[in-house]
């Protein structure tokens, strides 16, 4: 039987909640960058009510744990922990960059995706992914990058068909890709909790007290995943 999962993401400008119950997905999302703390629990109540269940029927919490706005990430982690503690539920941490890649796969059947989120201060959070049987698989750890040609980085995917997803590409496409090698997806800009539900099936859950925000800082060097 498929686990009943409740996903929450407030790491970017978008506040997003999704519930998977009996092979259906119930979701709410709104771009409310200064109102996440006021909106998120209301969204949780709405999707539970639409499905006709209470939190007691949920098997786990999926948390968009970053990277993104420091305040937004903290809100999402705190709300996820609070809900998980209240019913002794496991938490499934999912990266916002991975959720963008999953959205690109869902909407465009993309094969290779580089997700980039505007980190302000002339920088972006970035990571690359491959489509493996419909699921975004990371090729590198999330990083912070200055506004320069990403296609020249050693981690850049060895393929000619790369799509770009996220606000980083929308804001800084010409700087990140001066040669215009990347097809930027105009309709995949902000992560959605519904895509995190798919990714949650492929990550290890943690106890609520073990959940930590994914803050990506600019002193981290470029690093591929082991074996890549």
User: Each residue of 196-213: pLDDT tens digit?
Assistant: 999 999 999 999 999 999
* Average pLDDT of the segment spanning 105-117: 98
pLDDT score recorded for residue 29: 97
Superfamily of domain 96-184: ATPase, nucleotide binding domain (3.30.420.40)
* pLDDT more than 70, % of the chain: 94
Count Cα atoms within 13 angstroms, Cβ side, for 74: 3
Can you tell me the distance from the alpha carbon of 108 to that of 2, in angstroms, rounded to the nearest whole number?
25
pLDDT score recorded for residue 167: 97
pLDDT band at 1 (very low <50, low <70, confident <90, very high): low
pLDDT at position 157 over 70:
yes
Q: Give the number of other CB atoms < 10 A from CB of residue 149.
A: 13
* pLDDT more than 90, % of the chain: 87
pLDDT at position 218 over 90:
no
Closest CA to 65 of 133, 3, 9: 9
Dihedral sign for Cα atoms in the order 43, 48, 51, 52? negative
Tell me phi and psi for residue 118, to 5 degrees: -60, 120
pLDDT at position 227 over 50:
no
pLDDT score recorded for residue 226: 45
Domains 5-95+191-210 and 96-184 share a fold: yes
* Average confidence score pLDDT of the chain: 93
Question: Where along the chain do its domains lie?
Answer: 5-95+191-210, 96-184
| Model pTM score | 0.93
pLDDT score recorded for residue 130: 97
Domain 5-95+191-210 sits in CATH at 3.30.420.40
pLDDT at position 77 over 60:
yes
């Amino acid at each position: 039987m498929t686990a009943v999962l409740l996903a929450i993401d407030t790491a970017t400008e978008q506040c997003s909640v999704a519930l998977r119950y009996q092979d259906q997905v119930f979701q709410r999302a709104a771009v409310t960058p200064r109102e996440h703390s006021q909106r998120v629990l209301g969204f949780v109540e709405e999707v539970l009510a639409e499905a006709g269940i209470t939190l007691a029927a949920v098997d786990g919490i999926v948390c968009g744990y970053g990277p993104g706005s420091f305040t937004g990430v903290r809100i999402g982690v705190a709300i996820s922990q609070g809900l998980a503690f209240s019913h002794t539920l496991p938490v499934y941490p999912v990266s916002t960059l991975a959720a963008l890649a999953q959205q690109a796969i869902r909407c465009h059947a993309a094969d290779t995706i580089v997700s980039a989120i505007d980190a302000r201060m002339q920088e972006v959070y970035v990571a690359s992914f491959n489509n493996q049987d419909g699921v975004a698989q990371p090729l590198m750890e999330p990083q912070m990058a200055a506004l320069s040609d990403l296609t020249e980085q050693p981690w850049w995917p060895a393929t000619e068909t790369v799509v770009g997803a996220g606000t980083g590409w929308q804001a800084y496409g010409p700087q990140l890709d001066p040669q215009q090698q990347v097809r930027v997806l105009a309709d995949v800009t902000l992560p959605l909790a519904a895509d995190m539900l798919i990714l949650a099936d492929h990550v290890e859950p943690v106890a609520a007290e073990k959940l930590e925000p994914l803050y990506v800082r600019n002193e981290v060097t470029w690093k591929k995943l082991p074996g890549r």
